[in-house]
Amino acid sequence: MEILSPVGSPESLPAAIKAGADAIYLAGKSFGARAFAGNFNDSELEGAVGYAHDHHVKVHVTVNTLIKNREMDEAVSFVRFLKDIGADAVIVQDLGLLKNLASIDIPKHASTQMQVHSAEGLRWCAENGLDRAVLARELTMEELASMVPDSPVETEVFIQGALCYCISGGCLMSSHIGGRSGNRGSCAQPCRKKYTTDTKTGYLMSCADLFGMDYMDGLRDLGVTSLKIEGRMRSPAYSYLATKAYAMAERGKKGEEFDETMELLRTVFNRGTCEGYLGGVVSPVQSLYPDNRGFFIADVKISNGSIDPSQIVEPVGLKDGLSIFEGDAKIGGFKVMDLDPIHVPFKIKDGRYSIYRTYDPRIDEVKNLIGGAPKLSGSTQRKAVRTRLPNASREENRTLLSFYVSTIKTMEAALPYADRIYFDGFDKADEAREICTQASREFVTLLPRFDPLDEFAENVHPVMVNTVGQYRACKGARRIYGSSVLNAFNSHFPLDLHQVTLSTELSKPEIADMVAHYPGRTEVMAFGRAELMVTRDPGMESCTLRDETGAGFPVYKDRRGYSHVLNSVDLYLVDSLLDLKRMGVSSAGIDLRKRPPALAKAVGEMCFEPSRQGREKLVEMCGGATTRGLYQRGV
């Protein structure tokens, strides 16, 4: 299997290559999902490709953010440049960008952000010019076994590094609460913050790092093409040690050198480790702390400023760096200068503490071995590109109202106002459809967000899909609607849908620009608590998560065990329905899933007969506050 290593800066380039990577992945200064890594300018990129190829290492370049209309020409030009400098593959999330890359002869990989997590998704990739799919990190070995052996494209699986709490490609929490979009490479990591419920407090959405070495043999047997190490935001020493460990394991070179490499890897970056979901659906959360504390070596008693080394099972050497914690609080750190006992060089009260190794002097040897960044240069220039965006002609019609509901009672309350129902309840779909049919309302079955075994499909009645795999699986349906989870972000969006709900990360001017050039029907979410995350974590229960500002995020667990984290306030664009109509938006989405019938009635009345009194009543029913979301500011 290929060992694919992270290179977040020129300094990490020799680290990954000297450690034994078969391929590396890196980014330019734009369009990469790690916007805060060092990354590479064009000249450095050309030099990096040459440097890697001189060492027989392939280079994959990430262009894996969502692309706005005004950015498309630059993004396509960048990929043409990557082809010209000999990059081995480009990693893509945006479906509109993928459409515009069809004529560029460079291997294309579906980013994990594209949400490919089933056999149908892999078949869609093969039919749409993709050579490889980076599979969702939420898949188990059993689920991988159902799709990888017969995959028509290469497959790539994450084996090491940070895990997203949300199902890959669908996290909106950072953008909606902080204006920094994970889909645009600027995630502020709200999952690493402390939260409180009625029963517990901690870092309740902070995942430990994936450590999947024990699954390498199984993944190889399935036919996985590439093992991916996450970590472009981490140090060159981390890139070297992680790459070396997995390269040695893949080549069967375990022994004393391997053991030492693993020991240093645990020290150079460590927030706790887990198997992710490879071993089954177990919680990946490590809720005690979210940051890199180094390698935990012992809970000890400190007396008179000294630590008896007999309390520590792990070896401790001179000049090791140790950090002392009391619960959540870091008391201090120091370099070990004596061993029997170990003296703490600052004042500390007697008591019990946790000790972590944060530094090992052998890491200096690693840094010396890596050396500095190589001199990287190139002379290839980008070529200008103009993508075509025809104007879309539209008749001015009333903006229809689509109500998202999860119970029949709420649906019945919405029916007098609804043109269309999206029903989130596969098991009661037949009963709900019959009620809608009698009321002469369109009924659309809303499929689950995550379906690794392709269990849910609709090939007769109208259906709303969330992924390219579901889109392919439902080709026979009377009408196919696309949910906002498909991340329709520009007018080049290619799927042949009856209607697509636009990304909720678009601003008002961006919506207007997209609709003006997109030939199909569009929907814009106008009311409801935005679904910020869907997680497979079995440890999350139905509750309200409260952050350190006091904001409360409702969480509900569905029948399949997935938990849905909703925004703390309702989106309210009901007073913008006329604006949406003028833009040419076909439908407005009213999200009332897990909400009472009375709220459905109040929203419907405001849509048809807006009034100050009605708005005040509705805001009161929503808890006293609403938001205009990213409609006002975008990302």
Residue 475's pLDDT is 95
**Residue 79 near residue 88, CB atoms below 8 Å:** no
Can you tell me the distance from the alpha carbon of 323 to that of 309, in angstroms, rounded to the nearest whole number? 15
pLDDT by residue (tens digit) across 423-453?
Answer: 998 889 999 999 999 999 999 999 999 999 9
Q: What is the mean pLDDT of residues 116-138?
A: 98
Give the torsion sign (CA, 430, 435, 439, 441). negative
Residue 425's pLDDT is 87
Residue 397's pLDDT is 81
Residue 334 reports pLDDT greater than 80: yes
CA angle 482, 485, 487 (to 5 degrees): 90
Residue 320's pLDDT is 95
pLDDT cut 70: percent of the chain above it = 100
Radius of gyration of the chain (CA): 26
Q: What is the mean pLDDT of residues 179-188?
A: 90
List Cβ<8 Å contacts ≥24 apart for 413-417. Answer: 413/597, 413/598, 413/600, 413/601, 413/604, 414/590, 414/592, 414/600, 414/601, 414/604, 415/439, 415/441, 416/604, 417/600, 417/601, 417/603, 417/604, 417/605, 417/607, 417/608
Residue 502 DSSP label:
B
CB-count burial class (<10 Å; 0-12, 13-18, 19+) for 509 = exposed
Residue 395's pLDDT is 75
For residue 335, list its beta bridge partners. Answer: 321
Give the torsion sign (CA, 13, 77, 35, 29). positive
To the nearest 10°, report the CA torsion of 81, 115, 68, 177.
Answer: -130
Residue 35's pLDDT is 67
Residue 33's pLDDT is 65
- Bond prior to 596 in cis (omega within 30° of 0): no
Residue 168's pLDDT is 86
Residue 398's pLDDT is 87
In which region does residue 416 sit, left (phi positive, over 0), alpha (psi from -120 to 50) or beta (all else)?
Answer: alpha
Residue 477 reports pLDDT greater than 70: yes
pLDDT by residue (tens digit) across 400-411?
Answer: 999 999 999 999
pLDDT by residue (tens digit) across 280-331?
Answer: 999 999 999 998 999 999 999 999 999 999 999 888 999 999 999 998 889 9
Residue 276 DSSP label:
T
Can you tell me the distance from the alpha carbon of 216 to that of 227, in angstroms, rounded to the nearest whole number? 8
pLDDT by residue (tens digit) across 479-526?
Answer: 999 999 999 999 999 999 999 999 999 999 999 999 999 999 999 999
Collapsing DSSP to helix, strand or coil, 326 comes out as strand
What residues have CB less than 8 Å from 613, skipping those under 6 apart? none
Residue 38's pLDDT is 80
pLDDT by residue (tens digit) across 147-168?
Answer: 999 999 999 999 999 999 999 8
Q: 449, 432, 450, 453: which is closest to 441 by C-alpha?
A: 432
Residue 464's pLDDT is 98
pLDDT by residue (tens digit) across 527-542?
Answer: 999 999 999 999 999 9
Q: What is the mean pLDDT of residues 545-565?
A: 96
Residue 34's pLDDT is 75
Return the half-sphere exposure (C-beta side, CA atoms, 13 A cut-off) of residue 169: 29
The distance from CA 196 to its chain's CA centroid, rounded to whole angstroms, is 23
Residue 77's pLDDT is 97
Return the half-sphere exposure (C-beta side, CA atoms, 13 A cut-off) of residue 128: 26
Can you tell me the distance from the alpha carbon of 34 to that of 182, in angstroms, rounded to the nearest whole number? 9
Residue 434: how many CB atoms within 10 A of its CB? 11
Q: What is the mean pLDDT of residues 586-614?
A: 96
pTM score: 0.95
Q: 232, 169, 264, 254: which is closest to 4 by C-alpha?
A: 232
What is the overall mean pLDDT for the chain?
Answer: 95
Can you tell me the distance from the alpha carbon of 603 to that of 6, in angstroms, rounded to the nearest whole number? 48
Structure tokens at 425: 């309840």
Can you tell me the distance from the alpha carbon of 573 to that of 196, in angstroms, rounded to the nearest whole number? 30
Q: 593, 588, 581: which is closest to 524 by C-alpha?
A: 588
Residue 214 reports pLDDT greater than 70: yes
Structure tokens at 113: 């952000």
CB-count burial class (<10 Å; 0-12, 13-18, 19+) for 379 = exposed
Give alpha helix (H) positions in 29-172: 42-54, 72-84, 95-100, 119-127, 141-145
